[in-house]
Amino acid sequence: MLTNEAATRIAIIDALKSLKADKRINPGDPILIVYAGHGTQIEAPSGWETGGEHLIQALVPFDCCSTTGLEIPCIPDRTIGALLESIAETKGNNITVVLDCCHAASGTRAGTGGLRIRSVALKPSPIHTQDLDLNIWDAGFTNQHPVPHFRYRGLRSHILLAACRSFERATETKGHGKFSRALLKLLRATPPDELRYSQILFKLDVITDQNPQLEGVEQERFLFGAPIQAPTPSIYPIFYDEQSCLHFTPVGTAQGVTQGSTFDLIPETNVRDLEAVTNGSFIVLRAMSFISTLTPQSNSQTITGPLTIRRSTEGQKYPIRLFISQDRYPATRSYLDGLLRDQTHGLRDCIIVDDPSEAHFQISINRGKAIFNLLDEAARKYGFRYRYPRIDAHHDNVSSFLKAAQKYYTELYQTSDDGSSFELIDDLEVSCFQLHEKASTLDDVSQLDMVTIGQDLCEYEKIDLVVKADSYYGFKIVNHGNRDLYPTLSYFDFRDLGTITSWYKAPSSGPYQLEAPLKKYGGSLTIGYGNGGALPVMFSLQEDQEIAVGFLKISVSTQPVHMFDPLYHLSNYQQNLQSFLSENIRHTWGSKLIPIIQRRRPKETPTDGFHFSYWPHTDPVTHVIGAHAMSRRTTSMPIRFVGAGRA
């Protein structure tokens, strides 16, 4: 433990470095790092990609000084982030970081009425240079295969509990931080194996005048525990409005709810029991952006008390259009008619068309095998042709393929029908860059710095690139609008209908206000480089392919797509239901699709015997480096614990 004058810059950095080499800590052991002290915000050195504000966050050690001749810098976010990533590479990412500090632009540790601010204002100083702590955040590698080194990069290396948003001030009373006091009270009362990180901010005593934030990929972990392998089903509150005689739930199209979706009623005492017996069900009458109206199913009754629900079936799905191969038409038509009539497979949204230009897929049944070819004009217009792996023509197998296609297309094309959402999308500027690994001979921490090279690859709302081995790509989104936005980025690869890859998902803040990752009037978010916290992206082609096509889907909303604690919402919003409903109704979301065309050679170069692939693939061929878990940008803290890069 370092306190007061012992908490110098060198001592803090050395203490973090020592965790990596500590033989008492085995891989996977929980590591808890707590900082309670001063934080600050300073101008970013030239070249640091910071999201548009050109400010960085930092811890202020005891000996920090900007006096000429006595300079000792603060500890910037990038330095702390690199140290955490280095620890995670050796000890695993079961790391919890608690920061009870702030970084206000003005103010000192003083106040009135016993309230003090955990902030210090630092004058602009040349000591915070572009290469500060270069030996920590820019160490190089000798391994020829860089993929494993991104495993714990950015927000994959740790869970962060921060006392406030980046522009707020954390306060203390009687020498104790308000956030620390509330957190300790919760931890003393709740065993770690009964508390998930995602529940912490909901269960804290209410903290006023500041908004704690939660960041990191593994938010569904139990405290200090192993990652959750299977996703946890979401539980939502449901309210009854006496004026309209309707039930409402605070989720809508932004969370994938559509008209016809059904929800099972869960007893309030068993909201965490996945095997709980349901007490009936509800069906969605209308789905808006962030709210849906429901009515009880025939086997349920209208209940006016606060309840919880869990989604049981999807609602409206995108219709999949199938064209039957002419050479196998009779056998294939007979097969499909039988499959689509069988209601147990739930394929009522699949239809047969006579015009191949209107179809998503061509299907033929031959010798007990089902053969699917991609016909979707959204991909074919760029020259892409693809045949999926042959599958046994058992109803269950073909049904699984078609259900995966339905889910793929439903999520690809689902967006808000609110007219105001178009303004959100029109105000976005999207760029794509090839990234370069900037290596160093220093080896304090095993981390690469990713920097952009070359020109913007996104032209006219389309990305067209030549795939090269070990080439990384990053993205930048700028919000030119007048509303803060909360983005989600996903990649859809036509070659792998069963996988939708998350490239970015916003952090969470429980019941508190979340700092917007895409701030209005020029705020930006970077993916794969800078301070975005997300991983770089790689693309690849199969051996016999000349071209492949996928879509980047960018969804933005005017409020966070919340994680829910149903008991919290039931106890806090039932009494102010009308206000709660009005707040949710006024928010909207929207999405845009950007095609990414991946070529083996530049499109201007003719090919010898040019052909398209019709052969099956084996592994997902487009991926986020390191893993397919969701990555989140770090913006809401008193410090950004990510590997910030230089653009």
Q: Where are the domains of the chain?
A: 4-215, 320-413, 421-571+587-624
From residue 636, give the alpha-carbon distance in Å to each of 95, 149, 160, 311, 370. Answer: 18, 25, 10, 30, 50
Lowest-pLDDT range of 108-122, 167-181, 364-378, 487-501: 108-122
In a 13 Å sphere around the CA of 37, the CA atoms on its Cβ side amount to 20
Q: Do 4-215 and 320-413 fold alike per CATH?
A: yes
Task: Output the pLDDT for position 128.
Answer: 52
Largest CA distance in the chain: 88
- Which single residue is written with the structure tokens 């056998």? 331
pLDDT digit string, tens, across residues 5-48: 999 999 999 999 999 999 999 999 999 999 988 888 877 766 66
| pLDDT (average), residues 106-131 | 43
Percent above pLDDT 70 for the chain = 74
Q: Which two tokens stand for residue 207?
A: 């903290």
615 — pLDDT class (breaks 50, 70, 90): very low
Name the percent of the chain lying above pLDDT 90. Answer: 43
pLDDT digits 0-9 by tens, 198-248: 889 989 998 988 999 998 878 888 898 866 655 667 788 888 877 778 888
Which residues, including other chains, have CB under 8 Å from residue 420's CB and lie 6 or more apart?
A: 588
Q: Tens digits of per-residue pLDDT, 331-390?
A: 999 999 999 999 899 898 899 999 999 999 999 999 999 999 999 999 999 999 999 999
Q: What's the rounded mean pLDDT across residues 256-264?
A: 92
pLDDT tens by residue, 569-604: 666 655 566 677 777 788 899 999 999 999 999 986
> Where residue 418 falls among pLDDT bands split at 50, 70, 90?
confident
Element (H, E) at 55: strand 55-59
- pLDDT over 90 at 630, yes or no: no
Q: How far apart are the first and last CA of the chain?
A: 37
277-329 per-position pLDDT tens digit: 456 889 999 999 999 999 988 755 656 566 788 888 888 889 999 999 889 99
On whether the pTM is more than 0.85, the answer is no
* Mean pLDDT of the 527-556 span: 90
CATH class for the domain made up of 4-215: alpha beta
Q: What is the DSSP letter of 540?
A: -
Task: Tell me which fold the domain 320-413 belongs to.
Answer: Rossmann fold (3.40.50)
pLDDT tens profile 432-462: 999 988 753 333 444 667 889 999 999 999 9
Angle between helical axes of 329-341 and 395-413 (0-180°, round to 10): 80
pLDDT on residue 134: 54
